[in-house]
Structure 1
Amino acid sequence: MKLIYETHSTTVDNEAGVATGWLPGELSERGCQEARELGIRRREVDVVFSSDLRRAVQTVELAGLAVPHFQDWRLRECNYGTLNGAPRSELEPRIERVRTPFPDGQSYDDVLELTRSFLADIKRWYDDQVVLVVAHSANRWSLEHLLGNRGSMEQLVAQGVNWQPGWEYEI
């Protein structure tokens, strides 16, 4: 299976420096254009899975791909608990949240385990297909750890978000 991972497009919160977490979020004007570009870039996929949070769903909808689209709650961003919607700076240092949950929320290890569960399911159901996943930064760190052998979760979280137009993995 080929898995292509893309983060959701830019949101109003991203532009304002807000950590959306489990809040729905809304794409900005720039994000809407990025979503359309994603659709052009990823025409070769067989199926799309996304987080069920609005910003990821909206990204897939605007991409306009003519393949099945499934929403999976396991692909949500880390739940920042009481810090959902707070300024991003209030999440720092995030490395302290790899094993310890945010207040009333999740840890990055919790997201890792949900991502691991998701991967087990799609490997079983879509083994010979090209799967596009549209989700969030915590899921990308999890995929990089599980599939990319790019380091520990602590190392990946410490590196932060380094956007690019997708990551590809052979499973």
Structure 2
Amino acid sequence: MTEGRLVIVRHGESVTNAAGVFTGWLDVELTMRGRSEATGVGEILAGNDCIPHIVHTSTLSRSRESARLICEALPRSSDARITAHRSLDERHYGAFTGRDKSEVRDAVGPEFFGEARNSLTVSPPPLSGDDMARLRNSRWPSSRLSLTGIVTESLGDVVLRVSRFWQEMLSSQLGTGATVLVVAHGNSLRALLVVIEHLSQAELSARRLRTGEPLLYRFGHDLFPTVYGGETMRSRPAEQL
């Protein structure tokens, strides 16, 4: 079987990343830096001859815009279609949504703060009616928060939905030898790493993904990554191009 390649990219910097607040399902845009990061990812992929056949993204604007900018920076011969999936959306941060991260840490204490961010089983407090009122009066678009009955998620909840996406779509595409690009979010991509690398809780807590930095996984016939932790992709020196 031909070796499949998976490139995962956390979207470029968003306006809420820059503001230091929990974003979750808030549907915010990229900053100028974030758009530049996304374009840079496309240039890195092109420079490393890693042109995707398939592109998946989440349904949130910051992820879809990043995927579009990445694809625009690829050679014109690239004709991969971008498809959006709710399974790849960021986790729902419950009552933390739209709140300053340092203020939340001070309010709930560092122990619960760390557990709510990294534990597979601990969720932030659920989003309440008062939280919705607060968000409606904020500058962040919050209409998506009322689309479902979900009011908070643990990382384990995100792993479950990402695992279904892996089983139903990604694994079969990689099994054909395709190069697949997934542009999503810090937590949905960490969940994907749990699925493909079988990370323990301790390993998961230590893993972070930077915005706009592509990570490459190669897969053999058993659909296990050939390099544990993946390969960080960078621009190639001019003499290698």
Give the TM-score of the pair, scaled to structure 2: 0.64
> Does the CA contact (< 8 Å) of 1:17 and 1:87 recur in 2?
yes
Aligned residue identity for 2:87? R
How far does the alpha carbon of each residue in 1:41-100 deviate from its partner, in whole angstroms, 9 at most, with x for none? 234110110111110011011222531100000101110022211112326623244202
Instruction: Kindly report which structure 2 residues correspond to 1:7-86, keeping only aligned pairs within 5 A, or say none.
Output: 7-43=10-46, 44-63=51-70, 64=72, 65=74, 66-86=79-99
Is 1:4–1:131's contact at 8 Å kept on the other side of the alignment? yes
Q: 1:48 to 1:153 in 2, by over 3 A?
A: farther
Secondary structure in 2 matching 1:19:
coil
Identity %: 27
Which residue of structure 2 aligns with residue 127 of structure 1?
175
User: Which one has a bigger Cα radius of gyration?
Assistant: 2
SS at match of 2:63: helix
More strand per residue: 1 or 2? 1
Unaligned residue ranges in structure 1 (runs of 5+): none
Q: What SS is found at the alignment partner of 1:99?
A: coil
Structure 1, 159-168 or 104-113: larger mean CA deviation: 159-168
Among 177, 183, 192, the residue aligned to 1:143: 192
Cα 1:15–1:160, aligned 2, differ >3 Å: closer, same or farther?
Answer: farther
Letter in 1 for 2:35: C
Aligned length: 169
Does residue 118 (structure 1) correspond to residue 165 (structure 2)? The answer is yes
Check if 1:152 corresponds to 2:200: yes
Aligned equivalents of 2:57, 2:201: Cα separation in 1: 22
Could you tell me which residue of structure 1 aligns to residue 213 of structure 2? 165
CA contact (8 A) 2:5 2:174 kept: no
Residues 12 and 34, structure 2, Cα contact 8 Å, conserved in 1: yes
Find the residue that maps to 1:156 and give its secondary structure: helix
Mapped partners of 2:39, 2:91: distance in 1? 25
**Offset of 1:168 from its aligned partner?**
1.9
Alpha-carbon contact 2:186-2:209 (below 8 Å) kept:
no
- SS of 1:49's equivalent in the other structure is strand
Segments of 4+ moved more than 6 angstroms: none
**Aligned-CA RMSD value:** 2.0
Separation in structure 1 between the aligned mates of residue 114 and residue 45 of structure 2, nearest angstrom: 31
The separation in 1 between residues aligned to 2:23 and 2:203, in whole angstroms, is 22
Name the residue aligned to 2:114: 94
Counterpart AA for 2:163:
R
Shift of 1:147: 1.6
Q: For the residues of structure 2 that align with 1:106 and 1:154, how far apart are their CA atoms? A: 19
